[in-house]
Amino acid sequence: MQQQNWKSKPQLVLPKRIILMRHGESQANIDIATYSTTPHNKIPLTDVGLAQAHLAGAHLLRVISDIDTNSPNWRVYFYVSPYERTRSTLRQIGRSFSRTRVIGVREECRLREQDFGNFQAQDRFKAIKETKEKFGRFFFRNPEGESAADVYDRVSKSGGWHGSPI
> Known binding site for substrate: residues?
22-29, 85
Catalytic-labelled residue, pool 23, 54, 133, 162: 23
Q: For helices 84-94 and 47-67, what crossing angle results, to 10°?
A: 50
Pairwise CA distance, residues 153 & 157, whole Å:
6
C-alpha span between 109 and 97 (Å, rounded): 24
Neighbours of 78 (CB within 10 A): 17
Identify whether 144 is a catalytic site residue.
no
121 φ, ψ (degrees, to nearest 5): -100, 115
Among 84, 113, 133, 162, the active-site one is: 113
Tell me whether residue 40 is one of the annotated catalytic residues.
no
What residues form the annotated binding site?
22-29, 85
Q: Is 8 exposed, middle or buried (0-12, 13-18, 19+ CB in 10 A)?
A: exposed
Contact 159, 166 (CB under 8 A): yes
**Looking at the annotation, which residues are catalytic?**
23, 113
